[in-house]
Amino acid sequence: MSNKNLFLYIGILIFGLTAPFIFPAFKVQLSILCVLIVLATTWNIQGGEMGYNSFGNILFYGLGMYLCASVQVGMFFPLAEWTESGGEKTFVHTPAQFFQGMAAGLVVAAIVPTIVAGLIGYSILGLRGHYFAICTLGLGVAAGEISGGIEIIGAGQGFTTPPFPDFGGLEARGEFFYFLSFFVLVFTFIAVRTIYSTRFKLILNAIRDNEDKAEAMGIQTMKYKIIGWMISAFFCGLAGGIMGGLVGYIDSTDVAFDGREMGVFMVLMAILGGKGTLWGPIIGATIFHIFKEGFWTFFLGWQYVALGVLIVVIVIYFPEGIMGWLREKYPERFGEVVDEADRKAQVELK
Amino acid sequence: MDFMVFQYPMITVQACLDGILLGILFALIAYGMALQWGVMNIINIAQGDLVILGGYIAYFMYLYGIHPAWGVIVSPIIMYFVGVGIYKLVINKVVDRDLFISILATFGISILFMQLMNFAFGADVVLANSGYGTTFLFDNNVVLPNSKIFSAFVSIIFAICLVIYMKKSKLGRAIRATAQNARAAKILGVDTEKVYAATFGINAALCGVAGALISITFTIHPYMGLPYTIRSFMIVIVAGLGNLPGVALSGMGLGVFEEFADYILGTEFRIGSVFLLLVLILVYRRFKLSRKREYLK
């Protein structure tokens, strides 16, 4: 079993490392795919495993995006003048400055959202079910509206992130961002996989299944809920920081705190693949991204109509997702012991 | 930051009056949400988009030379059927399921409606001009457009009619019975499926009225739906399900809050402050309940 998995991982790793050279035209798309997988996988930590369906992870994503870009600019140049000039090239990063700024920016983009999640976690995670969902939805939209009014990060006119330094052209830029996002993806996968093999995951599942009973068993549910959310926030911030550099332009409501797109996408991808599984969000994100890009390219203008229909169809007909469907079909593969007589009896009951 | 509010008391009066008139409209939308939340246990994220759609119906009448005030009659009739249609297509499949499923499904409907309206009516901010003029109060210091007074008046009439309808009519009784206990109602011969469809239709019709009034009084835009959903959600959780005076009062309170937020923080933070207020109210209630080791249900 583990031997087979090892080959699978190595295969994926090799594919990931060579992908930009096999499909050189799709480098940006592949980087976005990596970011989407990171978002879906980490949404799944508290959405799928913990049962706290959040629309608000977009808050950490947007925060990470703004922070990374602000640090990258602010380390070397006055931030206010940069945003005021609106992307005019009055200041130019040297390659060393760009990469230093990016590294520092990503560190800040990962840490600050984690702290924010820890700070607001105690208040927000006391809400349950749909109240939590709506509250986080409000949080995400509020963050977008408020950041759209703050002058120093560009307010309504947006924030141009530092352009990639002038060497190697588009090729080098694409490869840099691809390997950055792929590295983050691998890091996320290893981290999440490690988390899922510990007792921590069982505690999260206990919270999902019955929080009151989990508490009665002596688990400090609030502590674990906050930690779960902080882990999500860490990776969301990191993903946001990369995405900001990749897109090259940050707008408060259309790119950063885009609750209507990215905020729903992460939920949708996780549900499509199957909530509460390790591979579900990854498969879901891949299928979703392929579908989305196809639609965005060939039916431009109708993409939101398709998105709306897609959400309704997925939610109504596939609430368990692809992994859930597979699990029902081949329970043996998932390590579930199935008693033949029991199964027959169930069929008869139906 | 603008502290004019404290220096000129007339601005306070203006903001309060504006807020109350606006709040009555919010309360009407929230009443619809409370109705279908109470009966079907569904949170409809597309509520605001139904409002905007209702507004566009009135706006279309205005474009074709009919006075938009007639939209108050026409829009709910059309919207009733839209609501029943949505119920038949989507909502009846999510009624008994987890609330999050219904939130996500109606989120999908909301995105769909937003974009379809964007195609059909364009992305411009529009307004149906009613030509009602304005009223000046307190030595011309307070300016009230008559359309606002008209809309508040119409909302109150509709709300009263609905309350009477729910109390007296057969369908109203069936709806209330289903809200109390759907299973018992079914046993006693109520066709709950029909009741659900009617409830969603009535909710959509209320949104239609509110939308028509909003298109006369304020402006409408395809993407303006979500704030109305959030406002009505907020009003309902503050007032509680089935508490009508509470809905009216908290609606007005929200209206006044918004007007003051507009004056003090600036218009760009208006919507943001509404969403932030939602978060604060939920967190406040959570802490209040957690003292008794309970949580919002």
Using the Cβ of B122 and the Cβ atoms of chain A, whether some distance falls under 8 Å is answered with no
Q: Which distant-in-sequence residues (6+ apart) come within 8 Å of B85 by Cβ?
A: none
Q: What is the pLDDT of residues B102-141, one digit of tens each?
A: 888 888 888 888 888 888 887 777 777 777 777 777 767 7
Structurally, how many domains does chain B consist of? 1
From chain A, the residues in CB contact with B90 under 8 A are: 312, 316
Domain containing B23 equals 4-290
Per-residue tokens: A79: 């931030």
Provide the sign of the torsion angle of the four alpha carbons A248, A250, A256, A261, taken in this order: negative
Q: Which two tokens stand for residue B224?
A: 């303006």
Tens digit of each residue's pLDDT (9 = 90 or more) over B193-245: 888 999 999 999 999 999 888 888 888 888 888 888 888 888 888 887 777 88
Interface check for B123 against chain A (CB to CB < 8 A): the answer is: no
Q: Give the pLDDT of residue A24.
A: 75
Question: What residues in B contact A50, CB-CB < 8 Å?
Answer: none
Q: How far is A211 from chain B (nearest CA, A)?
A: 11
**Would an 8 Å CB–CB cutoff place B107 in contact with chain A?**
yes
Provide the number of CB pairs (under 8 Å) joining chain A to chain B: 132
Instruction: Supply the pTM of this predicted model.
Output: 0.85
Does A312 contact chain B (CB < 8 Å)? yes
List of chain B residues whose C-beta atoms are within 8 Å of the C-beta of residue A123: 283, 286-287
Under the banding of pLDDT at 50, 70 and 90, the label for residue B1 is very low
Q: Using an 8 Å CB-CB cutoff, list chain B residues near A128.
A: 295-297
Containing H/E element for A318?
Answer: none
**Is the CB of B279 less than 8 angstroms away from the CB of A139?**
yes
d(CA A285, CA A264): 12
Q: How far is B178 from B170, CA to CA, in rounded Å?
A: 12
Q: Rg of chain A over CA atoms, in angstroms?
A: 21
Q: Identity (one letter) of the amino acid at A130?
A: H
Predicted local distance difference test score (pLDDT) of residue B107: 86
Domain contains B113: yes
Which among B101, B275, B286 is the nearest to A315, CB-wise?
A: B101
Lowest mean pLDDT among A172-186, B4-18, B35-49: B4-18
- Residue A150, chain B, CB below 8 Å: the answer is no
Q: Per the domain annotation, does B295 fall within a domain?
A: no
For B220, list phi and psi in degrees, rounded to 5.
-130, 155
How far is residue B127's CA from residue B56's CA, in Å, rounded to a whole number?
9
Task: Please check the confidence at residue B11 and state whether its pLDDT lies above 50.
Answer: yes
Does A311 contact B107 at a Cβ distance shorter than 8 Å? yes
For residue B296, being part of any structural domain is answered with: no
Cβ distance of A310 and B275 shorter than 8 Å: no
- B114 vs A: CB within 8 A: yes
Do A264 and B233 count as a contact with CB atoms less than 8 A apart?
Answer: no
Instruction: Please give the pLDDT value at position A335.
Output: 67
H or E stretch covering B135: strand B134-137
A308 → closest Cβ in B115, B266, B276: B115
A316 to chain B, any CB pair closer than 8 A? The answer is: yes
Q: Classify residue A295 as exposed, middle or buried by CB count within 10 Å of its CB (0-12, 13-18, 19+).
A: middle
Residue B59 belongs to domain with CATH number: 1.10.3470
Q: From the candidates B282, B283, B285, B289, which should be mutated to test the interface with A, based on the most A CB atoms within 10 A?
A: B282
Q: What is the pLDDT of residue A272?
A: 86
The verdict on residue B297 lying in a domain is no
Q: Which residue of B has its CA nearest to A126?
A: B286
Instruction: Please identify among residues 213-272 of chain A the ones whose CB lies closer than 8 Å to any CB of chain B.
Output: 260, 264, 267-268, 271
Q: According to the model, what pLDDT value does residue A89 have? A: 62
Would you put residue A67 in left (φ > 0), alpha (ψ -120 to 50) or beta?
A: alpha
B125: left (phi over 0), alpha (psi -120 to 50) or beta: beta
Nearest partner of A328 among A312, A346, A310, judged by Cα: A346
3-state percent breakdown (helix, strand, coil) of chain A, nearest 5: 75, 0, 20
Secondary structure of residue B142 in the 3-state scheme = strand
| Residues of chain A positioned with their CB less than 8 A from the CB of B42 | none
Q: For residue A114, which of A220, A242, A230 has the smallest C-alpha distance?
A: A230
- Picking from A133, A146, A156, the nearest residue to B103 by CB comes out as A133
Q: Using a CB–CB cutoff of 8 Å, tell me whether B105 touches chain A.
A: yes
The answer to whether residues A120 and A71 touch, using CB atoms and an 8 Å cutoff, is no
For B27, what's the count of Cα atoms within 13 Å in the CB-facing half-sphere?
32
Q: Is B116 on the interface with A (CB under 8 A)?
A: yes
Q: In Å, how far is A161's CA from the nearest CA of chain B?
A: 23
Question: Which positions ≥6 away from A216 have C-beta within 8 Å?
Answer: none
Residue with tokens 């996988």: A41
- Which residues between 277 and 306 in chain A have a beta carbon less than 8 angstroms from any beta carbon of chain B? 301-302, 304-305
DSSP β-bridge partners for residue B126: B220
Query: Taking the CB of residue B234, how many other CB atoms lie within 10 A of it?
Result: 24
Amino acid at position B269, single letter: F
What are the chain A neighbours of B1 within 8 Å (beta carbons)? none
Q: Where are the domains of chain A?
A: 32-319
Residue B102 in any domain: the answer is yes
Residue A161 DSSP label: P
pLDDT at A221: 86
B295/A126 Cβ within 8 A: yes
Using a CB-CB cut-off of 8 Å, the residues of chain A touching B272 are: 141-142, 144-146, 148-149
Distance CA A233, CA A227 (A): 10
Is the CB of B278 less than 8 angstroms away from the CB of A123?
A: no
| Chain B: residue whose CA lies nearest to A305 | B112
CB B9, CB B214: distance < 8 Å? no
Residue of B94, B114, B115 lying closest to A316 (CB–CB): B94
**DSSP letter at A164?**
P
Query: b/e for A170-206, b at 16 or more Cβ within 10 A?
Result: eeebbbbbbbbbbebbbebbebbeebbeeebbebbbb
Tens-digit pLDDT string for chain A (350 aa): 466 778 888 888 888 787 777 777 788 888 888 899 999 998 988 888 888 888 888 889 988 888 888 888 887 777 777 776 665 566 777 777 888 888 888 999 899 999 999 998 888 888 887 888 888 888 888 888 888 777 777 666 777 777 777 776 777 788 888 888 888 999 999 999 898 888 888 898 898 888 888 888 888 888 899 999 999 999 999 998 888 888 877 877 777 777 777 888 888 888 888 888 888 888 888 888 888 888 777 777 777 788 888 888 888 888 788 888 887 777 777 666 666 676 666 666 55
**Looking at chain B, which residue has its C-alpha nearest residue A149?**
B268
- The pLDDT value recorded for residue A348 is 62
Beta carbons of B90 and A312 less than 8 Å apart: yes
CB A250 within 8 A of CB A83: no
| Chain A CB contacts of B269 below 8 Å | 145-146, 149
